Amino acid sequence: MPQLLTPDICVIGAGSGGLSAAAIAAAFGVSVVLIERGPMGGECLNTGCVPSKALLAAAKRAHQIRDAEKFGIRVGNPGIDHKAVAEHVAGVVAAIAPNDSVERFNGLGVDVIKASARFVDPDIVEAADYQIKARRFVIATGSAPLIPPIPVLDRVPFFTNETIFQNTHRLPQLIILGGGPAGLELAQAHKRLGSEVTVVEAGKALSRDDDELRQYLLNRLRDEGIRVQENARVERIEPFGNNIRVVFANLGRTYSIEGTHLLLAVGRAPVVADLNLEAAGIDYSERGIQVTSGLRTSNKRVYAIGDVTGEVNLTHAANYHASIVIKNALFRLPAKADHSTIPWVTFTDPEVAHVGLTEDAARARYGKLAILRWPYAENDRAQAERETGGFVKVIASRRGKILGAGIVGAQAGELIQMWSLAMQKGISLKAMQSIVSPYPTLSEMNKRAALNYFAPSAQNPFLRRIIALLAKFR
Ligand SMILES: Cc1cc2nc3c(=O)[nH]c(=O)nc-3n(C[C@H](O)[C@H](O)[C@H](O)COP(=O)(O)OP(=O)(O)OC[C@H]3O[C@@H](n4cnc5c(N)ncnc54)[C@H](O)[C@@H]3O)c2cc1C
Ligand SMILES: NC(=O)c1ccc[n+]([C@@H]2O[C@H](COP(=O)([O-])OP(=O)(O)OC[C@H]3O[C@@H](n4cnc5c(N)ncnc54)[C@H](O)[C@@H]3O)[C@@H](O)[C@H]2O)c1
């Protein structure tokens, strides 16, 4: 007989979303059962954000060594020990893992069950030898790499994000399918660690991003020697001697490229197959579990958060979802998820960061806009660091309401946060331009971009007459 547990909240999946939901609920003294069938921490910790950023960090060091001469420092070509790089990546994951561990969550008062969960009733989930009848359920089962139905793909070996970080060798010629954030980050990491890299993208690379910023990044990646082929409709992938051949069509012509290795980064599929959602009356599609703006599913007892909803596949979005669900489930507050000011960053070098609307989206919605820019080359710190490529771009209404911001350049992911705060709290351009930023910092660029909105007023003849008049009084 399975043992019956009756917690207030049962969370399925211990990735970014599930861990946040469980930790917040437990902090309020609520009884929580958390069910996880794989490694604690989910994708972000084990096969996503953390290992990819650790690999990029290693690659950046190799690049900086090659690039050091412009600072007057001569060091030759770096030797890359791929096994040691893989150990570094695993070491970073291991250093963070205790935060997400069973022990830590037990310490927070959460009961963790290491097993696969499935609904057997609208309010009962089964996992291992337990039946969990909870007041509320939170599904946070995430997403898995999408494997496209491309002919002959089953005859060639390929990596996905679930396997690439275990690689301990140089991949001489890497072909990456998909030019989204995962494809481009891993393209640059491998290029800098000694691979020849070709990215084959069906449409536009980084298509969610502002066109001007994504073009800037693509030019920089191409300057580094990464080939990025856009608008490539892949027709087949086949073995070619010991190598792999990708055949694709572009503008009516057929091309083929060969490589030693293949990585698939063509998007995500929600993980729902084993949950037996039908038994709980939970509606879903191939995009994900359908939720209301309060993240409730078609079963009122059950919420869904993070990647499995197919809304926004980002760790901080999953964390944000968790906070919304806890407000709803514990405090009965009518909290709604607002995705319009969730920032997103691609951690290439240079980084590309956005919040709010891109220029095209804002133009379609608002018509005339004020576009404010400030280049890194006009920032003293960027000059000192020799990081002069890139720019800040702010998209505002003609009346000065901030509609979006994008930054491409060094530390864009850090710099975007001021704009996120401004948009989330309704802070005006006027307030942004009156911030006193420490000198010399890259953040000064944010202020300078905002100041551009007011620059025409310095030429205003009326203001100039007043200044001239005031100058007469000592
Ligand atoms: C290469 C790569 C890099 C990324 N980099 C970033 C980044 O820099 N920044 C960022 O914000 N996002 C990044 N992401 C996206 C980020 O990893 C995801 O958005 C995030 O992990 C989603 O969290 P989640 O909780 O929804 O799901 P997950 O983290 O996938 O967790 C779901 C968990 O549920 C478990 N599970 C599934 N089914 C069951 C079941 N039936 N029973 C029990 N357990 C189950 C799984 O084992 C898993 O542990 C990256 C993704 C990839 C692929
Ligand atoms: N820095 C970050 O925050 C970060 C980094 C990596 C991944 N992620 C998240 O993880 C998720 C997965 O990332 P991703 O880049 O794999 O997915 P994605 O959906 O963002 O991009 C996939 C790309 O593959 C292309 N594509 C689809 N089918 C193709 C085919 N058959 N041939 C060639 N190209 C094809 C698409 O046009 C798209 O540009 C994303 O939602 C992303 O937000 C975030």
Tell me the mean pLDDT per 10 residues along the chain, length 474. 96 98 97 98 98 98 97 95 98 98 98 98 97 98 96 92 98 98 98 98 98 98 98 96 96 97 98 98 97 97 98 97 95 93 98 98 96 98 98 96 98 98 95 95 97 78 66 68
- Identify residue 62 by its one-letter amino acid code: A
Cβ of 346 below 6 Å from ligand 2: yes
Cβ of 183 below 6 Å from ligand 2: yes
- Which-ligand-closest: CA of 175? 2
Q: Compute CA distances 114 → 17, 26, 206, 280, 303, whole Å.
A: 17, 18, 36, 22, 21
Instruction: Give backbone dihedrals phi and psi of 18, rounded to 5 degrees, phi first.
Output: -65, -40
Instruction: Give CA angle at 292 (290, 294), nearest 5°.
Output: 130
The rounded Å distance from CA 165 to ligand 1 centre is 15
Mutate-to-test residue for ligand 1 from 11, 16, 33, 50, highest number of ligand atoms within 8 A of CB: 16
Q: Annotated binding residue at 184?
A: yes
Q: Can you say whether the dihedral through the CA atoms of 327, 331, 332, 334 is positive or negative?
A: negative
Q: Annotated binding residue at 15?
A: no
Q: Annotated binding residue at 182?
A: yes
Residues with CB under 6 A from ligand 1: 12-18, 35-38, 42-44, 48-49, 52, 116-117, 140-143, 161, 182, 271, 274-275, 306-308, 313-316, 318, 347
CA–chain centroid gap for 371, Å, is: 25
C-alpha closest to that of 34 among 132, 122, 152? 132
Find out whether 270 and 308 touch, Cβ atoms under 8 Å: yes
Rounded-to-integer distance, Cα 310 and Cα 290, Å? 8
Rounded-to-integer distance, Cα 2 and Cα 131, Å? 6
- Which-ligand-closest: CA of 315? 1
Helix (H) or strand (E) holding 286: none
Q: What is the pTM of this model?
A: 0.96
pLDDT at 424: 96
Mutate-to-test residue for ligand 1 from 35, 126, 141, 159, highest number of ligand atoms within 8 A of CB: 141
Rg of the chain in Å (alpha carbons): 25
Rounded-to-integer distance, Cα 266 and Cα 143, Å? 13
Buried b (16+ CB within 10 A) or exposed e, 422-439: bbeeeebbeebbeeeeee
- Quick check: helix, strand or coil at residue 92? helix
Instruction: Give backbone dihedrals phi and psi of 284, rounded to 5 degrees, phi first.
Output: -155, 165
- Closest atom of ligand 2 to CA, residue 145: 16
Instruction: Indicate if ipTM > 0.95.
Output: yes
- Closest atom of ligand 2 to CA, residue 265: 16
Cβ of 186 below 6 Å from ligand 2: no
Q: Compute CA distances 450 → 216, 345, 436, 444, whole Å.
A: 21, 21, 13, 10
pLDDT at 451: 95
The rounded Å distance from CA 307 to ligand 1 centre is 7
Q: Annotated binding residue at 367?
A: no
Site of tokens 């993208």: 201
Mutate-to-test residue for ligand 1 from 33, 40, 46, 49, highest number of ligand atoms within 8 A of CB: 49
Cβ of 47 below 6 Å from ligand 2: no
Which residue owns the Cα nearest ligand 1 atom 24? 142
Rounded-to-integer distance, Cα 267 and Cα 201, Å? 11
SS3 helix, strand, coil % of the chain, rounded to 5? 40, 25, 35
Instruction: Give backbone dihedrals phi and psi of 6, rounded to 5 degrees, phi first.
Output: -130, 65
pLDDT at 332: 87
Rounded-to-integer distance, Cα 109 and Cα 15, Å? 18
Mutate-to-test residue for ligand 2 from 177, 313, 339, highest number of ligand atoms within 8 A of CB: 313
Which residue owns the Cα nearest ligand 1 atom 35? 13
- Closest atom of ligand 1 to CA, residue 49: 5
Rounded-to-integer distance, Cα 373 and Cα 357, Å? 15
